[in-house]
A and B are shown apart, each in its own frame.
Chain A
């Protein structure tokens, strides 16, 4: 069993839809990271959180430490949100990565 599990692996949505990507982990963590990787390959750090909820524009990330679960939500999705979203747990030194969720938002 992988230490970091993401679901779904692939997600196709229509523009405007509310999107949720889930991440479950089995290891103890100091922080959980959500990363975005665009088709060009570059990786952008979206959030780092260790408790509660963070919001940045249309993106919301939540974490439940007791349940070892995090969700990334995208409100009013747009085609430019199409990317691979990667959950990673641990510190920057010891990040364990999920396999990623490929999101495609259709116009």
Chain B
């Protein structure tokens, strides 16, 4: 298996633009997570899906952020409109179950100018 695949690896966008980050989890994993990593706050959980259903989105910072998982092999994290403070590395991770090891993607480094 190729592991968790994220795209793009790097994204630079202007403030106000819409940004869409993509994630393909490991086949057979039924839990998917979106994390954000910044220097100030470290790694933070944004949202957690189980069997394609959002279970906990309490970490989503505000309404500008939305995440979808239309099927078991694909998820998106969208920021609309983007702001410079959204600049961070966004990680997607998947796991086979609720209390099991999480496997991380390579991350998307987002820069909003």
Which A residues touch B31, using CB under 8 A? 92-93
Contacts of A95 in B (CB 8 A): 43, 45, 102
Given the known interface contacts A41-B89, A100-B42, the answer about A92 and B98 at a Cβ–Cβ threshold of 8 Å is: yes
CB pair A45–B42 under 8 Å, yes or no, is no
- Least distance between A7 CB and chain B CB atoms (Å): 15
How far, in Å, is B47 (CB) from chain A's closest CB?
11
Interface footprint category on B: 20 to 34
Render A76-107 as a binary contact track against B, CB cut-off 8 A, 1 for contact.
Answer: 00000000001010011111011110000000
Are A33 and B104 neighbours in the complex by a CB distance under 8 Å? no
Query: Quick one: which of B43, B89, B101 contacts A48, CB cutoff 8 A?
Result: B101
Considering the chains assembled together, what is the distance between the CA atoms of A98 and B37 in angstroms? 12
B93 at interface, CB cutoff 8 A: yes
Q: Which residue of B lies closest to A44 (CB)?
A: B104
Closest residue to B45 on the A side, CB-wise?
A: A95
Rounded to whole Å, the gap between the CB of B16 and the closest CB of chain A is 26
Count the A residues whose beta carbon is within 8 Å of the partner chain — how many?
22
Interface of chain B residues 84 through 113 with chain A (CB within 8 A): 89, 91, 93, 95, 98-107, 109
Q: How far is the CB of B88 from chain A (nearest CB, A)?
A: 11
Whether B101 pairs with A93 at a CB distance below 8 angstroms is no
Contact B106 A45 (CB under 8 A): no
Any B CB within 8 A of the CB of A14: no
Q: A93-B56, A97-B43 are in contact. Are A43 and B91 (CB under 8 A)?
A: yes
Distance to closest chain A CB from B69 (angstroms): 15
The residues in B between 39 and 60 inclusive whose CB is less than 8 angstroms from any CB of A are 42-45, 48, 55-56
**Are B102 and A33 neighbours in the complex by a CB distance under 8 Å?**
yes
The closest CB in chain B to the CB of A46 belongs to B101
The answer to whether A45 and B102 touch across the interface, beta carbons within 8 angstroms, is: yes
A44 to B104, CA, bound (A): 6
Contact among B44, B56, B99, B104 for A45, CB-based, below 8 A: B104
Report which A residues bind B (CB closer than 8 A).
30-31, 33, 35, 40-45, 48, 86, 88, 91-95, 97-100
